[in-house]
Copies of this chain bind each other. A is one copy, B any other.
Amino acid sequence: MFSKLFNPDSIAVIGASHDPRKIGYVVLKNLASHNYRGSVYPVNPKGGEILGYKVYKDVSEIPDVDLSVITLPAGLTVKVFEDVAKKSKFIIPIAGGFGELGPEGKKMEQKLLEIAQKYGARIVGPNTVGILIPSTGVNTALIVPERSRFPEDGVLSFITQSGALGLLTMDSFAMYGVGVHAFVNLGNRVDVNENELLRYFGEDPDTKAVVLYIESFRNGREFMEIAKEVSKKKGVVVLKAGRTSRGGKAASLHTGALGGNDAVADGAFKQCGVIRAYNEIELMDYGRALAYGKPLNGKRIAVVTSAGGVGVVTTDYIESNVHGVGLKMAELSEEIKRKIKEEIVPFASAENPVDMTAQASDDDYDEVLRALNEDPNVDAILVYALFQTPLISEKLVDIIVKWHKDGDKPIVVGTIGSEFALNMFRKFEKNAVPVYPTIERAVKALRVLYDRGRILRRWNE
């Protein structure tokens, strides 16, 4: 349904510009530099050439296209819209100045919708940064490339009502090597909405989890029905902003849509198997947990660390319901404890957390993970990959990747530190291991995988 939006054979850029500061230039630049392989038709009355693309003087001169991006201001967008709609399957009007400004703007965007419907075109926006699909090179977003990063290809699909929050979030996670399969900014959502997209990504084999930033639902009941179906197949994470009355007011000023009652939303999310995030970090962290990790079948966590204090704080976070997630530290079986203590790491504490101390080697980690994988008292393993001690090497990444892939038990990884740790983080990420840079974030990911296990068991009852 949306395949020609995300993987279009041809793109028209209405309002193409020679000025590098203009979005009409940036979109072309994005297409050029992200290796979009389809045909590109820039339109500008001046004609000429931009970035090697031939510029058409009028929309009437271009052939039919899968996608048109309109980079003109609101007034001009309305003016040109019918000509564009005649030729396009999908249209992304970037400009703000529509419904978010009041009734007059609402009328203008309704007009866009009427025109689109007349010609069977679909609209993403207006008032949107548009879409970003790393795998096909389609990218309509405006950022300053020296100061921001676009994400690489990944397995999360990200639907957001706020373009800026979405881009900022992807920017900060891009440093950690986190990519997206698709990014869609709904903008004023005059046509294409989160429900259709969620259903689409639910069926999309390249999407392993869907994350949504939503200030107000187009149709909450329908969303819940779709989310319920999708959550049978893959994880769905929602950051519902405007959950407080004051936040709801801020949201209404932002996108002109009103949020609902948060307690109602919360109950509905639970019923439909939606995992809830409360900020931009949780949104991506949870999405990654669901996309990469195995669901837990029980609460009993084994923790492996070379730093004793990290083990203690982790234990508190696992066990506590306040500043913690209410899971349980596993009681390791006697046989496994004996094995760890006598055969693997005699210098370690073979209780749980298994504190291997700074003397631990890569191979010690390997053997301890093997032992914990065999322990029937363990439902999941949180392993800290800490690269600051002398006997640990980059090989530890491969060892943990192996156990994540081949072991029976769900594994979540914590890796704490600066540049070197960040590089190792990226390696884990590349191998689709759920990895987190702080204690709290690692433990919360475990909780999400536990919740995911409960959801799946419920659907399978």
Give A contacts to B, CB under 8 Å.
21, 96, 142-144, 146-149, 160-169, 171-172, 174-175, 213, 215, 239, 241-247, 249-251, 253-255, 278-281, 306-313, 315-320, 323-324, 329, 349, 351, 353, 355, 357-358, 386-390, 416-422, 437-440
Docked-complex contact B279 and A439, CB < 8 angstroms: yes
Partner of A175, one of B167, B329, B351, B419: B419
Closest to A160 in B: B309
Docked-complex contact A241 and B174, CB < 8 angstroms: no
Docked-complex contact A440 and B309, CB < 8 angstroms: no
Q: How far is the CA of A358 from the CA of B417 in the complex (A)?
A: 33
- Set of chain B residues within 8 Å of A147, measured between Cβ atoms: 387-388, 417, 420-421
Docked-complex contact B280 and A316, CB < 8 angstroms: no
Docked-complex contact A416 and B168, CB < 8 angstroms: yes
Which 9 residue pairs across A and B have the least CB separation, nearest first? A162-B309, A165-B309, A164-B307, A175-B418, A254-B308, A247-B316, A247-B315, A147-B420, A278-B323
Docked-complex contact A280 and B438, CB < 8 angstroms: yes
Query: Max chain B CB contacts within 10 Å: which of A250, A310, A420?
Result: A250
Q: How far is the CA of A21 from the CA of B392 in the complex (A)?
A: 13
Q: How far is the CA of A161 from the CA of B308 in the complex (A)?
A: 10
- Set of chain B residues within 8 Å of A312, measured between Cβ atoms: 162, 215, 241-242, 247, 250-251, 254
- Set of chain B residues within 8 Å of A142, measured between Cβ atoms: 358, 390
Q: How far is the CA of A13 from the CA of B421 in the complex (A)?
A: 30
Known: A171-B416, A241-B313, A254-B308. 20 other contacts (CB 8 A): A160-B309, A161-B309, A164-B310, A165-B309, A168-B386, A172-B417, A172-B421, A213-B309, A239-B313, A242-B312, A242-B315, A245-B319, A247-B313, A247-B319, A247-B320, A253-B308, A254-B309, A279-B317, A280-B416, A280-B438
- Set of chain B residues within 8 Å of A310, measured between Cβ atoms: 162, 164-165, 168, 280
Docked-complex contact B21 and A390, CB < 8 angstroms: yes
Q: How far is the CA of A440 from the CA of B387 in the complex (A)?
A: 28
Closest to A149 in B: B418
Q: How far is the CA of A308 from the CA of B166 in the complex (A)?
A: 11
- Set of chain B residues within 8 Å of A96, measured between Cβ atoms: 357
Partner of A246, one of B149, B319, B349: B319
- Set of chain B residues within 8 Å of A318, measured between Cβ atoms: 246
- Set of chain B residues within 8 Å of A251, measured between Cβ atoms: 312
Closest to A353 in B: B250
Offer 7 A-B interface pairs, CB within 8 angstroms, sorted by A: A148-B420, A165-B307, A167-B388, A171-B418, A175-B419, A242-B312, A253-B355
Q: How far is the CA of A91 from the CA of B146 in the complex (A)?
A: 50
Partner of A422, one of B21, B175, B280: B175
Query: Max chain B CB contacts within 10 Å: which of A147, A307, A318, A358?
Result: A147
- Set of chain B residues within 8 Å of A149, measured between Cβ atoms: 417-419
Q: How far is the CA of A134 from the CA of B309 in the complex (A)?
A: 23
Q: How far is the CA of A357 from the CA of B417 in the complex (A)?
A: 34
Q: How far is the CA of A175 from the CA of B422 in the complex (A)?
A: 10
Within the complex, the shortest CB–CB distance from A100 to chain B, in Å, comes to 9
- Set of chain B residues within 8 Å of A386, measured between Cβ atoms: 164, 168
Q: How far is the CA of A312 from the CA of B278 in the complex (A)?
A: 11
Query: Max chain B CB contacts within 10 Å: which of A143, A308, A310, A311?
Result: A308
Closest to A417 in B: B171
Closest to A441 in B: B281
Within the complex, the shortest CB–CB distance from A256 to chain B, in Å, comes to 11
Q: Given A353-B250, A390-B21 in contact, is the A306-B164 Cβ separation under 8 Å?
A: yes
